Amino acid sequence: MKLLPTLAAAAMSLALVQSASARDDSQRFPIATPMSTETAKSFEGVQFFFGDAPHPAVAKTLGTYSSRRTTNAFGKSDEAACDWAFLSAVKTFWERAQSEGGNAVINLRSVTTGEAVSSSTEYVCRAGNVIAKVYLEGTVVVLE
């Protein structure tokens, strides 16, 4: 008989954990915050232009790519977790530009649930209790 209350408590705990981990909120955060960090400053030799921000003339287009990055959000604020995932995504563009011979990434935009969100000041992140996700698309180029 003592087993029944224990099983009921375990089932309730499992239901609470599953519903809590199901959070997946779409949020916008400023690009300037993560791009002003020491990590972002280490992405030397490649310029980043978000949204439709003006940039010098393109001498050569090397391809349009995407980056999907997640990070552990447990115990972090949504913004802190999202900024980390954002920087990880930007770093993949930095690496791609270097490997392709590019010196810039233009038209960087967030892609969430199939829709591109183009902004020169904000990025979109899907934040949950356990994971934060950032999806970016951009074009690697050589600028004149």
Q: Residue 41 sits in which domain range?
A: 24-143
Among candidate residues 125, 96, 94, 130, the one with its CA nearest the CA of residue 111: 125
Task: Flag whether 6 is in a domain.
Answer: no
Task: Flag whether 121 is in a domain.
Answer: yes
Task: Flag whether 114 is in a domain.
Answer: yes
At 68, give phi and psi (nearest 5°): -120, 115
Domain count, the chain: 1
Position 9 pLDDT exceeds 90: no
3-state SS assignment for residue 97: helix
At 48, list the tokens. Answer: 């980043």
Task: Flag whether 115 is in a domain.
Answer: yes
Task: Flag whether 75 is in a domain.
Answer: yes
pLDDT score of 81: 98
Task: Flag whether 78 is in a domain.
Answer: yes
Position 58 pLDDT exceeds 70: yes
What pLDDT digit, counting tens, does each position of 17-45 carry?
Answer: 554 557 999 999 999 999 999 999 999 99
Q: Residue 3 carries which side chain, given as an amino acid letter? A: L
The CATH number for 118's domain is 3.30.110.70
Among candidate residues 66, 70, 90, 94, the one with its CA nearest the CA of residue 82: 70
Confidence of residue 8 (pLDDT cuts 50, 70, 90): low
Enter the DSSP assignment of 50.
E
pLDDT score of 3: 59
pLDDT score of 112: 82
Task: Flag whether 12 is in a domain.
Answer: no
Task: Flag whether 127 is in a domain.
Answer: yes
What pLDDT digit, counting tens, does each position of 85-142 carry?
Answer: 999 999 999 999 999 999 999 999 999 877 889 999 999 999 999 999 999 999 999 9
Contact 39, 87 (CB under 8 A): yes
Non-local CB neighbours of 144 within 8 Å, separated by 6+ positions? 56, 57, 58, 59
Among candidate residues 88, 96, 89, 31, the one with its CA nearest the CA of residue 64: 96
Confidence of residue 13 (pLDDT cuts 50, 70, 90): low
Cα 101 to Cα 46: distance, rounded to the nearest angstrom: 10
